[in-house]
Amino acid sequence: SPSNVEPKAQELKDMLAPKYFGWLGNYLVVKRISTQPNFHSLYLAFLDQLGDYGKGLVEAILSSVYLNVGKLLRSPKITTSTSEKSLLKNLGSWLGQITLARNRPILQLMLDCKELLFQGYETGMLIAVTPFVAKILEG
């Protein structure tokens, strides 16, 4: 909850070694961020409380987001499955909030949104790609 973000962040700083940031980042993306968009602001506040210590965790989260977005976009069910489209939109919203909303770029090397839209048009996946890119920009 918002009231205990600061003590929990301090507790995490005391307990978690940076070598486990990759695991925690993947866990947060797969189990929390992609399925619980209503808590995105809480997770952002938590990362803010970690300060400089959490920079490695933010990078781990970003790499996990890019990896999972790639998996979802390659999924054959992405155009028909409502749940997969929802996961993709949630990841897009998070990606926009943690990057563009904080004046951090989304590098073309990591995710080329323009190319995604072109490929989505050519392959008939615009139904999934357009809301994803819109959520990134909205974030």
Q: What percent of the chain has pLDDT over 90?
A: 89
Instruction: Give counts: helices (H), strands (E), the chain.
Output: 7, 0
pLDDT tens digits for range 111-134:
999 999 999 999 999 999 999 999
3 state SS of 79 = coil
The topology under which CATH files domain 2-138 is 1.25.40
What DSSP character marks residue 28? I
- Is the pTM above the cut of 0.85? yes
pLDDT tens digits for range 74-86:
999 999 999 999 9
Q: Delimit the domains of the chain by residue range.
A: 2-138
